[in-house]
Structure 1
Amino acid sequence: MSTGTFTISIDFELYWGVRDTRGLDAFRNRLDGARKAIPRMLDLFEQHQVHATWATVGFLFCRNRDAALSAAPTVKPGYENSALCPYRYLEQSADLDGRYHFAPDLVDLIAATPGQEIASHTFSHYYCREAGQTVAAFRADLAAAVRTAAAQGIALRSLVFPRNQWNPDYLEVLAEHGIGAYRGNEHGWLYAATDRVGQNAVRRLGRLLDSYINLSGHHTYALESCAGRPPLNFPASRFLRPHNPRLAWADGLRLRRITHAMRHAAKRQEVFHLWWHPHNFGIDTDQNMGFLERVIEEFERLRQHEGMRSLGMAELADALAAQ
């Protein structure tokens, strides 16, 4: 029997996700808040039997700097913009604060929570569309991610490309390493995968408006449309934009944008794929958690009345294989 599906993927990266764009001091409060928000998310998911995929940067599996350097691949990305490469930062920062760079405790907590999938966000938060990086360097990075997770008893089955820079040239590398699913981008020009330069002000403004007003459609899709040779693409439907005090008056529109898409998916037996980063909840945490609770309440209603189910990305692949 066909049914709608609610899928969540979370880009778990701590400071590695913003290291090349934000100073640590300026971002510290968000990262401290993310560490507090993650257990709250997990409690909420467990309470409502919501499954989620946590795409985790490989560095976060490590206990400290030495462990990260030991696990790192010998072939490293040769970005033309050297600021993008984290290894010089890692090598030169002997006193890295573990709270912002490493999180084996949180990885264990996620893995121990029912219905939660630990997936890959590459080993080093690898940028697949930046000038200078190569297939060989990506292959080495992904191999390091797989080895590091396997050492902790975790088999990686899904991947989210950092900064949504998914690259069709690299899909064979995913398959080589047992990655059977990845999160592609929403359809349309606003969401096309580009390097950092391509993410201009016009695209950013368009995506902001699209979070409140339906400019680009619901971005839901039939699970069957994802069938094919692995790895399978399970595209995003919507980014859960965090609370903005200046736009709090429009939170009803932001919620309606999401819940209307969820209802659309439930009635048409399609997939609605929501995503965010833990640091998006790092400030205004109560407001963000309250908003997420309202989204989950809508899912509960759709589960009861429309039969909607909750599946992570690897579970989507399993469900498709079972059809």
Structure 2
Amino acid sequence: MNTGTFTISIDFELYWGVRDSRGLDAFRDRLDGARKAIPLMLNLFEQHQIHATWATVGFILCSDRDAALSAAPIERPGYENRALCPYRYLEQSTALDGRYHFAPELVELIAATPGQEVASHTFSHYYCREAGQTVAAFRADLAVAVRTAAAQGLVLRSLVFPRNQWNPDYLEVLAEHGISAYRGNEQGWLYAATNRVEQNAVRRIGRLLDSYVNLSGHHTYPLESCAGGLPLNFPASRFLRPYSRRLAWLDGLRLRRITQAMRHAARRHEVFHMWWHPHNFGIDTDQNMGFLERIIEEFEYLRRHDGMRSLGMAELADALTAR
């Protein structure tokens, strides 16, 4: 490829992404804010012709608790840590607040915005490296995700593994269900796919430091390096860490860390793949949106001067397979 590529993937989870680790009351403000931030992101993307992949938990496409339980597969993950199972949570939560769990209207808005791809984050926010789950249960989960999306006229072509627990044993299942692309992890020990227990403090602190100072490299790559059998792996390059009032004085370093990697990709005709969650913008929304605008300003400069382009994950797969 003779141009660099700016790729964005967004993990759209609502409460399903943190349900087993955060109480709803403690996270409510972020989730309310995410609902406001998503239209702002979409408007910004449309204004600047930014393409993005929205990896969406299948539950979110459901209208309510009854619809989610009705769609649920018969074979479910048998996590040893039972708190991880969302089906127990659904069955026990008879007074579920739909605002924090379901949002088919937001999915419809995403799908209607030019350049936006609705992709899969599995149906149930499935953890592929936690003890007790199996390939068979994952296959059942993905089948329901595909079927639920199809009922709304959506074809799932890309997937992001929840908590970045990508598992090579499960790639064949993706191909079976028409998934042609997935987001792998950055290279190196800091970013290795692990279960919850192995995500220790040392890894978390290392990733935090790496967001401000280049400890691990730019994690950009030639698109051709992703060639192979389907599904294709388009690894992450950088998590867009949200604004922190405590660390705001370091935001110049945080921005430089990202823009230097973008320039590296643009001038070497490589892919820079950035990701985040909508709830990361749920508080301090103005500051987070302002930071994102500065990143997009950098992309606009690189598009004008270096021909950098914006592609979602399925578009990356199309560009690669076309060659």
TM-score where L is the length of structure 2:
1.00
Amino acid at match of 1:148: T
CA-based RMSD of the aligned residues comes to 0.5
- State the partner residue of 2:104: 104
Q: State the SS of the aligned residue for 1:198.
A: coil
- State the partner residue of 2:267: 267
- State the partner residue of 1:131: 131
- State the partner residue of 1:67: 67
- State the partner residue of 1:93: 93
Matched, 1:162 2:162: yes
- State the partner residue of 1:174: 174
Amino acid at match of 2:184: G
Task: Provide Cα deviations, 1:278-318, integer angstroms capped at 9, x if missing partner.
Answer: 00000000000000000000000000000000000000000
Task: Provide Cα deviations, 1:247-275, integer angstroms capped at 9, x if missing partner.
Answer: 00000000000000000000000000000
Quote how far apart the aligned CAs of 1:98 are. Answer: 1.0
Quote how far apart the aligned CAs of 1:94 are. Answer: 1.6
Matched, 1:41 2:41: yes
Percentage of pairs with the same residue: 86
Q: Distance in 1 between matches of 2:223 and 2:233?
A: 10
Q: Distance in 2 between matches of 1:297 and 1:95?
A: 44
Quote how far apart the aligned CAs of 1:93 are. Answer: 1.1
Matched, 1:243 2:243: yes
Quote how far apart the aligned CAs of 1:154 are. Answer: 0.3
Amino acid at match of 2:243: H
Quote how far apart the aligned CAs of 1:321 are. Answer: 1.1
Q: Distance in 2 between matches of 1:22 and 1:270?
A: 37
- State the partner residue of 2:322: 322
Residues 134-145 of structure 1: matches in 2 within 5 Å? 134-145=134-145
Amino acid at match of 2:92: Q
Quote how far apart the aligned CAs of 1:205 are. Answer: 0.2
Quote how far apart the aligned CAs of 1:95 are. Answer: 1.5
Matched, 1:304 2:307: no
Matched, 1:152 2:135: no
Q: Distance in 2 between matches of 1:201 and 1:95?
A: 35
Task: Provide Cα deviations, 1:121-158, integer angstroms capped at 9, x if missing partner.
Answer: 00000000000000000000000000000000000000
- State the partner residue of 2:6: 6
Q: Distance in 2 between matches of 1:322 and 1:50?
A: 21
Amino acid at match of 2:209: L
Matched, 1:51 2:51: yes
- State the partner residue of 1:222: 222
Matched, 1:194 2:194: yes
- State the partner residue of 1:211: 211
Amino acid at match of 2:274: L
Quote how far apart the aligned CAs of 1:45 are. Answer: 0.1
Amino acid at match of 1:153: G
Q: State the SS of the aligned residue for 1:246.
A: coil
Amino acid at match of 1:76: R
Q: Distance in 2 between matches of 1:179 and 1:94?
A: 34
Amino acid at match of 2:139: R
Quote how far apart the aligned CAs of 1:322 are. Answer: 1.4
Quote how far apart the aligned CAs of 1:80 are. Answer: 0.3
- State the partner residue of 1:113: 113
Task: Provide Cα deviations, 1:89-140, integer angstroms capped at 9, x if missing partner.
Answer: 1011122111100000100000000000000000000000000000000000
Task: Provide Cα deviations, 1:188-227, integer angstroms capped at 9, x if missing partner.
Answer: 0000000000100000000000000000000000000000
Query: How many residues are matched?
Result: 323
Quote how far apart the aligned CAs of 1:70 are. Answer: 0.8
Q: Distance in 1 between matches of 2:201 and 2:321?
A: 40
Q: Distance in 1 between matches of 2:140 and 2:265?
A: 38
Structure 2 unpaired stretches of 5+: none
Amino acid at match of 1:59: F
TM-score where L is the length of structure 1:
1.00
- State the partner residue of 1:80: 80
Amino acid at match of 1:86: P
Q: Distance in 1 between matches of 2:13 and 2:293?
A: 23
Quote how far apart the aligned CAs of 1:170 are. Answer: 0.2
Q: Distance in 1 between matches of 2:217 and 2:140?
A: 38
